[in-house]
Structure 1
Amino acid sequence: MQYRICKKSTIRIVGVKIPLVEEHEVNMLLILRFWQQTIGTGQIQQISKMAELEPYGVLGISAYFDPQHIYYYIAAATNRPVPPGMEEFRIPEATWCMVTADPCCHVTSDDMFRYLHLEVLPSSGLFYAELPDIEVYPIEGRGMETPIQEAWFAVRPSDEEKPQKVS
C-alpha cells in the first residue's frame, strides 16, 4: 500500500445513509445489506452520475459523532442539487491521508485502516483526526463487491487541536 498527504477544503457529499451501532461485526452486515439495497433500488446509478468532485467515485463514508449517532453514507462528492430521497452532508476542511492499494491485491477498508494506524501514523508524527472515513469505489463497480480504490483518513499534527466533530 502507498499513501499521500493532502489538505482539502470542505467536501460536500450527496447520497443515502443508514444508522450504525458500536459493534463492528453487526455494522459490516448492515453495510453489506445497505449496499445491496442501494444497488437493487437503482439509487447507486443516481449516485454514480453525481460523482464530479474529488474524491471521485462512489463513496462509502463512516461518520461517528457519538455512540448514539453513527452513520454510513453511500454518496458522491458533488455540487449538484440533492435529489428526492437523498441528503447532503459536509465534511469539514482537513488534512487527509489517502491510502491506495495495488489494484491487483484485494484489500479492504479495514486493511487500509490498519495500515494507517500501524505504519503511517507511527512513522509520520501525525495523529488520527477522528473525522468521517471515506472509502472510494470505482463508478462502474458494485460497491463493496468491487475492490476498494482508495481510503481517505483525516489526520492532524500532534500540536494541532482535534477538529470539531461534524454534525
Structure 2
Amino acid sequence: MDWIKNLNQVIDYIENNLTGEIVNDEIVKLAGCSIYNFQRMFSYIADKPLSEYIRSRKLTLAAFDIINSRERIIDIALKYGYESQDSFARAFKHFHGVLPSTARNQTVQLKSCPKISFQITVKGANDMNYQIEQWPAFKIAGIRKHISTADAFQIIPQIWDTAWKDGTMSKLLELFQKADYRPAGFIGMAIGGQWGNSEEMDYCIGVTNYVDHPSCNYVPVPEGMEELDLPQATWVIFNADGELPDAVQKIYKQFYTEWLPNSGYQLEDLPAIETFMQDNRQEVWIAVKQK
C-alpha cells in the first residue's frame, strides 16, 4: 500500500539523519500529509510521540558509540544534536538510567529503542461506523488557545475545564440553540499542519455557526469569541459514542492503523474535528481526499 510505503520512507529518512538535521518539509514530502497530521498519526500507531521516538533512537545509538568507541562524550553529545555535555547526560540518564560516563566505565544494563517498521495487519475484530460526506464550507465560532504540541494531552482538558467555569460554555450553549448545524454539538479542534507548526498549535472549542447552504442562516459570533473558516471538503465521519477519552482515542487508532491504509484515501491538510453531544455521543470528522 502507498500509505504504508510512505510511512516507512519517513522512518528511513529519520534513521539516515539521526546525526544530522531532520527537516519537517522532507517528512511532509515523503508522507504526503502535513507534519501535524503525520505526528498525530505516528503517535496513535506507535503509541509514542514522534519526538520521543527520534530522541530514543538517538540515545540508543549514542549508547553504542559510548561503549564501542573512544570518542569524547562531548563529541558524541554534539553528534546527536545536544548543545552541551550536561544536557546530553541528563537525557541519557533519563532514558538509560545511568550517566554516559558510567556506561563507558562499568558494565551496566542499557535500554534500546529499535527502528520502527510499519506494516498492515488485517484484524477485522472491531467494526467502525462511518460515513463519507462532501460537506460545504462552514464556520465555527468559539475560543482558541495557543499551546505547546508536546503538552497538548495535559493542557486540553484544562482548557475545557476552564471554559465550563468561566462562562464560555454557557455562551456556546446559547449559540448552539440558535445554530443547530452540523458538525453538531460542542466542537473540539486541534489546528496544526498548514495552520501552525510542529512545536506549537492552537486548540479551539466552539460551535458551528454557519454552513454554506441556502437553507442556513448565519448566526453572529458572540462577543469575546472569534470565527474560524473551514473550506468545502470530503469528510469521513466516525461514530465515537462511549466514555471519554477512550471512545475517541480508539477511533483515531483504528482510523490510522486499519481504515486509512485500506481506504484508497489520503489525509487532507485540515484539522480533525471532534464533536461532543449529550449522553456520551461523539463524532470524529477527518478530512480526506482520494489518491
TM-score interval w.r.t. the shorter chain? 0.7 to 0.9
* Preserved contact between residue 236 and residue 285 of structure 2 (Cα < 8 Å): yes
**Match in the other structure for 1:73:** 204
Gaps in structure 1 of 5+ consecutive residues = 142-146, 159-167
Cα contact 1:14–1:82 (8 A) shared by 2:
yes
Which residue is equivalent to 2:286?
153
Structure having the higher helix fraction is 2
Which of 126, 133, 139 aligns to 1:12? It is 139
Q: Does the CA contact (< 8 Å) of 1:62 and 1:70 recur in 2?
A: yes
RMSD of aligned C-alpha atoms? 2.0
Counterparts in 2 of 1:8 and 1:99: CA distance versus 1, 3 Å: same
Change (3 A) 1:10 1:85: same
Per the normalisation by structure 1, the TM-score is 0.81
Q: 2:172 is matched with which residue: 43, 47, 62?
A: 47
Q: Which residue of 1 aligns with 2:156?
A: 31
Q: TM-score, normalised by structure 2?
A: 0.48
**Structure 1 residue 109 displacement after superposition:** 3.0
Separation in 1, partners of 2:241, 2:168? 29
In 2, distance between residues paired with 1:13 and 1:89?
A: 5
The equivalent residue for 2:148 is 21
Which secondary structure state, in structure 1, belongs to the residue aligned with residue 149 of structure 2?
coil
Could you say which structure has the larger radius of gyration? 2
What whole-Å deviation, never above 9, does each CA across 1:25-52 have from its counterpart, x for those lacking one? x111111110011000121021122222
* Pairwise CA distance, 1:104: 7.2
- What's the offset of the Cα at 1:107? 3.1
Which structure has the higher relative contact order (CA within 8 Å, separation 6+)? 1
CA shift for structure 1 position 106:
6.7
Q: Is the 8 A contact 1:108 1:148 kept in 2?
A: no
> 2:238 aligned with 1:99, yes or no?
yes
Give the aligned partner of residue 189 of structure 2.
61
**CA 108–88 in structure 1, closer or farther in 2 if over 3 Å, else same:** same
1:58 to 1:105, Cα distance in 2 relative to 1, 3 A: closer
**Size of the alignment, in residue pairs?**
150
What is the distance in 2 between the residues matched to 1:122 and 1:29? 29
Structure 1 stretch displaced more, 60-69 or 100-109: 100-109
Once the two structures are superposed, the pairs formed by residues 87-126 of structure 1 within 5 Å of their partners are 87-103=226-242, 107-126=246-265
Aligned residues: percent identity?
27
